[in-house]
Structure formats: C-alpha cells, structure tokens
Chains A and B, each alone.
Chain A
Amino acid sequence: MGMTMTQKILAAHAGLDKVKAGQLIMADLDLVLGNDITSPVAIKEFQKIGVKEVFDKSKVAIVPDHFTPNKDIKSAEQCKFIREFARDKEIENYFEVGEMGIEHALIPEKGLVVSGDVVIGADSHTCTYGALGAFSTGVGSTDMAAGMAIGKAWFKVPEAMKIVLKGSLPKWVSGKDVILHIIGMIGVDGALYQSMEYTGPGVASLTMDDRFTIANMAIEAGAKNGIFEVDEKTIEYMKEHSTKKYTIYKADEDAEYTRVIEIDLSTLRPTVAFPHLPENTRTIDEVGDIPIDQVVIGSCTNGRIEDLRVAAKILKGNKVKKGVRTIIFPATQKIYLQAMKEGLLEIFIEAGAAVSTPTCGPCLGGHMGILAAGERAVATTNRNFVGRMGHPESEVYLASPAVAAASAITGKISSPEEVVK
C-alpha cells in the first residue's frame, strides 16, 4: 500500500522508509513557532527541561501578533517575557511590532517554510503552510517547549481525506468559499485526526492566497493538516520568498484514503457560515435579511494582498453604510505597504473604513473591534464560536472578503453581485 503526501513527509522526517496510518513516530522539526499567548507558557515549560539553548536558533520563530501592539499592561508583560527569552536565546526569527505580521501570513512571506518541511506551531492555524506542500500542524505550548529543546515532536501518522478539485472559480468566489463549502459538507469534525489532501486539475486555477486560506481552515474541519500538491505556482512562490531547499512529495497512486471528495469549483457560490459553528454554512442566495453592526476584513485566513484587492474593488467609489464599523487589517507590514502603493488604503479610508496595523486583535475577541451583547459582525476570520469576537451574546458570520466588503456597503449580509453591477 502506498503513502499519502503527509505520510511521505512524516516518514522522511522520522528516518523511516515507510509509515502507515495510526503509527506513532518521532519526527525532526524544520520550524517551531509560537505567538504572544502560547509562547509564555512554552517558555516556562522549556525552562523546566533544563537545556540551555534552543535546538537551532534559525528554526524557532516567535511572533507577538495576538494582543499586539500591547493592548494592556498584562499583554505588555507577556510580550516583554517572550522578547527577553528571544534575545537571551538569540532566536533569529523573532519579529517585533513594526516588522511583525500575523504569524501565518508572515512565516511564508519570510520564506521560513517550503514544501516537504515539518512544522509545528503553538497556534491552531499553523496548518496554513500546507498550501506550500509542507506538513504543518498546530500543537500546544508544551509541544512547542519540547520542540524548541530537542527539535522533535511525536505524531500519530494520520489517515487522509482526498479532495479532488476540478474547474475554476466563478467571479467573486474565492478560497474562503471553497473551504466554507467543504466544512459545511463534512462538518467541524469531518476530518478529525486526518490530513486533508488537495489535488486535481482545479488546483492550478487557485492562487497561492486562495490555497493559504483553504489550508488555514483545515483545523475548522478537525483536521491535523491540510496540504496541497506542489505545482508551478508553489515553486514560483518559494523561489520568490525563500532560499531554503525544498522537496516535493507526491502521493502514491495506491495511497489509501478514508474518503474522496470531488468538487467542481465552477459550481460554487459565495458562502457564509452562520453562528456558532463554521459548519453552519449557507450560500449567499440562502442567507436572507441579516443586518450587521461590524465588518472585519483581515486575519491569518484572509488578510493577504488579494483579499485586500477584492475588498477594494468592491468598496471603490462606495461608502460603508452609516453605523457599520468596517475595520480592515492587512496581515503583514509588506502587505500593508503593497496595499498603500496600490492605492487600496486610500479606497478603504475614502469609503469610511478604519485601517489597522497587523494584529490578530478582533478575530479572537482580543482588542481592536470587540462586539457588545446582541451585536453582529461579518468577518473574514475563521471561527464564529460563542463569544469569539466579544460578548457571549454577540454573533459572527464568516465570509469571504468580497462578501464582507459588499455587506459593509449595504449594512446587511450581501452578495458582491448586488453591489457591483
């Protein structure tokens, strides 16, 4: 029996010729990541292990992105703690406010992950880098601590679900709609413990930003990781951003899958996930009349340049509805600068939107856009759990940047087709 992409990467990093689903292995790590919420716990655990240095100063990344720029004294103390650790251990990839971005947009942009890598991150959306053909998965702080100390982590080799993409996306439909459609179909535990492996002729039609968005939300289906087959676009991206050596793994013809799903991209519609689970999806045609108080465009899911471009295309020459707070977060400084050069920031501000420095902020109810009781937001973020963006009685509707921008103009959840004739 053959192996999947994920199984091949794990085998190679465990020094084994072959692994099979269910097998427990110790794998070498190419990158260990943490943020300002998970790293403080990890550092305390690391200190208990008793090693003096991290296993490799170039293979640890710490990105204070959640409650930064420091939202209060306690957050400032946490950031100070991790900053001092990074300085003391001479961690090369510590990114301070000013160079910092949302970790899962920043790490690929900095070229720290390439195809064939094994990455763990103490952040559940670490699965984003599967877009590059890497095995990357979210873990907790203790795994991060052990990873920093010994450069290894234990894994149970996952079974896999194969997702075969065909055709290409219609206008105003993006990677966000693809992944919401899939989660709506299989449920929030539909890929529990498994890898979601994307292949098929439709992959080529997806931009890298679409693929980052799709891989990013694998965790929202319960998956261990999401991974895309490497193609010309992936190689071009890696050459542009990284000097690291990459390895391309293809699944064997006879690899075993728990399930094979075929998706014709051309049939998809803009899709919205209703509270309070990402699986509560409806197409834009089934949404009905849902008035909103706030729009958030950004996050590790949808704060990349293409997300901002599509939002700008819709907002250009329009005004956001009076009373709808529209907050836009470019995910990294590079994306921010690019958006400025392209005139996107001007479009946003002219339209009446607020533009913020990169931060995870409102996505997890941290700061910069918290909801009051009874308020409703359309967000391009990844989770709509109870209390996720603020008060436990507030509501989050997950959507693409196109739907979010259109909704900002009309003040209710809307299709871009309604706004752009």
Chain B
Amino acid sequence: MIKGTVIKYGDNIDTDVIIPARYLNTSNIDELAAHCMEDLDKDFVNKVKPGDIMVAGKNFGCGSSREHAPAVIKAAGIACVIAETFARIFYRNAINIGLPIMECPEAAKDIENGDQVSVDIYTGVITNISKGKTYQGTPFPEFMQDIMKAGGLINYVKGKGE
C-alpha cells in the first residue's frame, strides 16, 4: 500500500517539462532528477518528499519516448502517479521501470494539492484520507502486475529465462 501527500498538476504534462531535453546529454538519473518538472514548477525538487503522490489531469507524460521522464519522477521520490489518462509511451515506460501509476479520472479530478492519499495498485482502490473518500482506479492487468512485481521489464525478461 502506497500512502503520501499529493502534489497536483494539470492536463497534458509533457515529457519536455518533466525533464527538459537540454539536460539529456547524460543518462545519470540522479543527476537528472535535480531538474525534474523544472520548466513547469521550479520549486518541485525543493518541496517533494519521498513517498509523495503526483496527481494530474489527462494525457500525462505526452510527447517524447524518453524513459528518463518516469525515471526522474521516481528518483525524485514520487511513490505513485495518479492521472485521468496517461500518454501511452509514458504508461509503458512507467511499468517497465517499476514506477506505480494509476488511471482514475474521478480521483484525479477530486483530489487536491496537499491531500493525504493511499493507493493499492493491485486492486485499484484509491483512498483520499483528507476527504474521507474512495475511488476505484483501473488496476493493471495481470501481465503488467507481473512486470511490476518483478521490479520492471528487465527482471521480468530475466525471470523468464529468455
């Protein structure tokens, strides 16, 4: 069970604001994490605490295929991203690197900045502790849960012995 404080953003948060390409001359994720969300919210890296939950509107992670985007969000300490919808490459990448994400339009609209929220990524149940409400998100299909449980695609592929 994931439990944390919410940092909320709007619709169409693209990978260029999550991690600007001008920094991608390195693939060192810890170095890149210092620039997470920089072009949208310069204060993000100062205010984020390990275990916080990011909530956003529709089409989260649109744009580039850069896996650095979910990786820096994870490295910055975010435990889970809840959004109305995710762009598809970001969705894949998050699963492949083991960043928990959850699609739930109702929760994404209702949850406010600073709310305390818990998420069960296997059942899809999201609880807004601050508001005393629960929402039903879309849990991962079994296949994707297996990848998450293995800790990402690489471990999953290794585990299959292929």
Chain A residues contacting B3 (CB-CB under 8 Å) are none
With A74-B25, A364-B21 as given contacts, are A140 and B16 in contact (CB-CB < 8 Å)?
no
Taking a contact as CB atoms closer than 8 A, the residue among A50, A72, A366 that contacts B21 in the complex is: A366
Separation in Å of the A257 CB from the closest CB of chain B?
A: 18
A385–B157 CB distance below 8 A: no
Asked whether any CB of chain B lies closer than 8 Å to the CB of A397, the reply is no
Separation in Å of the A136 CB from the closest CB of chain B?
A: 12
A385–B65 CB distance below 8 A: no
Chain A residues contacting B129 (CB-CB under 8 Å) are none
Separation in Å of the B13 CB from the closest CB of chain A?
A: 10
Asked whether any CB of chain A lies closer than 8 Å to the CB of B8, the reply is no
Task: Mark contacts of B144-159 with chain A using CB atoms, 8 A cut-off: 1 yes-contact digit, 0 otherwise.
Answer: 0000000011100110
Separation in Å of the A168 CB from the closest CB of chain B?
A: 32
Taking a contact as CB atoms closer than 8 A, the residue among A66, A75, A146, A387 that contacts B39 in the complex is: A387
Assembled-state Cα–Cα distance A40/B68 (Å)? 11
**How many A-B residue pairs lie within 8 Å, measured between CB atoms?**
133
Separation in Å of the A307 CB from the closest CB of chain B?
A: 22
B87–A189 CB distance below 8 A: yes
B154–A222 CB distance below 8 A: no
Size of interface on A: residues with Cβ below 8 Å to B: 52
A142–B59 CB distance below 8 A: no
Assembled-state Cα–Cα distance A72/B22 (Å)? 11
Closest to B143 in A: A24
Identify the stretch in B44-52, B73-81, B91-99, B117-125 within 8 Å (CB) of chain A at 4 or more residues.
Answer: B91-99
Asked whether any CB of chain B lies closer than 8 Å to the CB of A388, the reply is yes
Closest to B25 in A: A74
Separation in Å of the A416 CB from the closest CB of chain B?
A: 29
Assembled-state Cα–Cα distance A150/B160 (Å)? 11
Chain B residues contacting A385 (CB-CB under 8 Å) are 14, 16-17, 63
Taking a contact as CB atoms closer than 8 A, the residue among B17, B21, B88 that contacts A193 in the complex is: B88
B25–A78 CB distance below 8 A: yes
Asked whether any CB of chain A lies closer than 8 Å to the CB of B24, the reply is yes
Separation in Å of the B41 CB from the closest CB of chain A?
A: 11
Chain A residues contacting B39 (CB-CB under 8 Å) are 386-387, 392
Separation in Å of the A37 CB from the closest CB of chain B?
A: 5
Asked whether any CB of chain B lies closer than 8 Å to the CB of A67, the reply is yes
Having A143-B153, A189-B87, A386-B16, one finds 7 other A-B pairs with CB under 8 Å, namely: A44-B27, A45-B154, A122-B65, A142-B154, A192-B87, A193-B88, A388-B16
21 contacts between A and B (CB under 8 A): A24-B143, A41-B68, A49-B154, A50-B158, A67-B24, A67-B25, A72-B25, A78-B26, A122-B65, A124-B63, A124-B64, A124-B89, A126-B65, A140-B92, A140-B96, A142-B67, A154-B143, A189-B59, A222-B87, A370-B22, A386-B14
Interface residues of A (CB under 8 A from B): 24, 37-38, 40-41, 44-45, 48-50, 66-67, 71-72, 74-75, 78, 121-124, 126, 138-143, 145-146, 149-150, 154, 188-189, 192-193, 219, 222, 224, 277, 364-366, 370, 383, 385-388, 390, 392
